[in-house]
Amino acid sequence: MQVAFHVGAFDTESDIPIRILRANDDILEEEGVIIASPEEYGNALREPLVALRGGVASAGMRDQVVMACTGRPPGDVDRLVITQRGLLAGPDRAVTAEGLYPLAPQRIGALANLFPQDEVEFHFSIISPVLLLQSLSRKRDYAELLDGRPPEQLLWSPVIARMAEAAQGRRLVVWCNEDLPLILPEVVRSLAALDPSTQLRSEDLLLRALLTPEGLRELQDDLAPLPPQAIAARRALTVAALDRHARPGRMDQEISIPGWSEDLVHDLTDLYEDDVSRLAAMPGVTFIAP
């Protein structure tokens, strides 16, 4: 059996790929793919994780987890997609004095140990630390979040490198939330291990929120003749549509963090882009680029 953990960082649109997959449940059924979110599995992961404390699950415990997540015997499931934003860290541990998601490597090892004989993957969406900080600082004091750490030191590449090491050869797929309008079909197919040529419904779910109705209709007409695997052509048409028909305020987000200047925001954005280039080239990381 294949197991794909879908664990987006906070303030990423990690629900969008799952909503698209659920809109194609007939296709998933044919492929033996089951989507399990917290509504389905409740404490089915937490309880064995606490009991094992990082140890390896027995075959019986593994089967119980599969049953709790899917309601089916393990033999009836070819691929299990487990989705939960907080699997690698709660909001209070996403940004710390130790950096971004410091517990993620440890959590990856523990999650993989629930399925020791299965083919386990991790799919992780990241976001600019600027946007992550702004989101988290709405609920926690900004100074408390960083605990004296300069924001310039909040980089994804160090923790992604440790996650890749903890994955021990298992597939680690990473993408940027900012790129999602262009790469969403690839993310969806990666999560469900679908062939690139698979026709899916509702793939424009995110674009419906980003484009004006007129722009969306125009793009849909332009994309209609293209097969799903015409990735470059689809992305070029999508970029053009977003340039011409984006809803006001949807593509740009105002940054308002106490004490931050516009220059600092630009500098941190440049650091993020450089950091993404580094992690995209890391061994053990499959990066979905636009």
Give mean pLDDT, residues 114-123.
97
Give mean pLDDT, residues 126-135.
93
Are 276 and 156 in contact by the 8 Å Cβ rule? The answer is yes
End-to-end Cα, the chain, rounded Å: 30
Give mean pLDDT, residues 256-262.
86
C-alpha dihedral, 243 to 247 to 253 to 254, nearest 10°: 110
Are 34 and 70 in contact by the 8 Å Cβ rule? The answer is yes
Which H/E stretch holds residue 83?
strand 79-83
Give mean pLDDT, residues 129-139.
88
Q: How many CA atoms lie within 13 A of 135 on its CB side?
A: 16
Look at residue 91 and tell me whether its pLDDT is greater than 90.
no
Average pLDDT of every residue of the chain: 93
Give mean pLDDT, residues 188-201.
96
Between 96 and 163, whose confidence is greater?
163
Q: What percent of the chain has pLDDT over 70?
A: 100
Look at residue 78 and tell me whether its pLDDT is greater than 80.
yes
Lowest mean pLDDT among 14-18, 75-79, 91-95, 119-123: 91-95
Q: How far apart are CA 230 and CA 197, in angstroms?
A: 9
2-202+259-287: which CATH architecture? 3-Layer(aba) Sandwich (3.40)
Torsion 160-162-164-167 (CA) sign: negative
The residues spanned by each domain of the chain are 2-202+259-287
Per-residue pLDDT, 182: 98
Look at residue 251 and tell me whether its pLDDT is greater than 80.
no
Which two structure tokens, joined as six digits, stand for 19? 């909503």
Lowest mean pLDDT among 77-91, 228-242, 270-284: 77-91
Per-residue pLDDT, 212: 97
Per-residue pLDDT, 40: 78
Q: How far apart are CA 190 and CA 147, in angstroms?
A: 37
Which two structure tokens, joined as six digits, stand for 154? 């909040």
Per-residue pLDDT, 258: 81
Between 13 and 184, whose confidence is greater?
184
Are 88 and 11 in contact by the 8 Å Cβ rule? The answer is no
Lowest mean pLDDT among 36-40, 45-49, 159-163: 36-40
Q: Give the residue among 240, 126, 121 at the shortest CA–CA distance from 180.
A: 126
